[in-house]
Amino acid sequence: MPEYNKIDTVFNKLKSENRKAFIPFISIGDPALETSFEIAKTLVENGADIIELGFPFSDPMADGKVIQRSYERALKNKISMEDAFAFIKRLKAFRDIPVVLFTYYNPVFILGEKFAKDAKEADVQGVLIVDLPPEESAEFTKYIRDKNIYQIYLLAPTTAPDRMRYVLSYAKGFVYYVSVTGVTGARKNLPETIKSRVEEIKRISSIPVGVGFGISSRDQARDIAKHSDAIIIGSKIIQFIEDDIEDKRRILKKIAEFSSDIRSALNDTASSGL
């Protein structure tokens, strides 16, 4: 019988405490490998429950301009998958937080079974492969099945009910609900349909639902957390990096303050009984 996946452990613990998960996203190697490691540590120290780490890719079709530029900066640093796994091992040595590796299929396909072996060795709990839907995942699933690594799937506002049921039948750990149509990026306003769509997912499956794409403020996080199990934020955090690219101390300070604020907002949701 496989060991328990730490993503399940986190969500079970938070559920028992009536709290919601904060899942930040950053790109490994942006703006430099060591700085991105300090950013990851800062997120862990300031309220992250799970961390999503992006492997820089040259053609990130699901990502908006902020994350695209983040990948471009990281690619200039020639970040390899070996670097990514070493990064995760270092972070795990600092704090044993569940890690979801966000990537596209091409780098995974090239490595094949070695990817799964190295991911297991680095103690990766989940892999989100944007361009690998369930019906094309058989080979990848074969590699990760006995390593207790979850493949995290996406659902979108445009996902039809039958398709939703199909994807949820494969989902493990949590399902990532994309709150808006289009690519990643912080937004001032988010659709009012998020609540009804999350409720629809929950009628089909008991799996935790994380909502991401567009969340950029404390108020948005608190409102969405009333209906979901996790808040996923990437572009807003990466914008802090871009805004002060030459000032590491300022980047870390802004990210620490923002993360603490989001954590506080999610705690407010729990204390209010929502």
Task: Mark whether 139 is an active-site residue.
Answer: no
* Nearest Cα to Cα of residue 127 among 72, 50, 196, 71: 50
Q: Which of 49, 63, 223, 229 is catalytic?
A: 63
| DSSP code at position 134 | G
Q: Is omega for the bond preceding 157 within 30 degrees of 0, making it cis?
A: no
Tell me how far apart the alpha carbons of residues 176 and 166 are, in angstroms, rounded to a whole number. Answer: 15
Query: What are the residues whose beta carbons fall under 8 Å from the beta carbon of 127, sequence distance 6 or more?
Result: 100, 101, 103, 108, 119, 144, 149, 150, 151, 152
Among 52, 96, 131, 261, the active-site one is 52
63 is catalytic: yes
The C-alpha atoms of residue 69 and residue 56 are separated, in whole angstroms, by 10
Side by side, the strands of the sheet bearing 150-151 are 150-151, 126-129, 99-103, 51-54, 21-27, 230-233, 209-212, 175-178, 153-155
Cα–Cα distance for residue pair 115/140, rounded to 1 Å? 9
Contact 204, 164 (CB under 8 A): yes
Query: Which residues are known to be catalytic?
Result: 52, 63
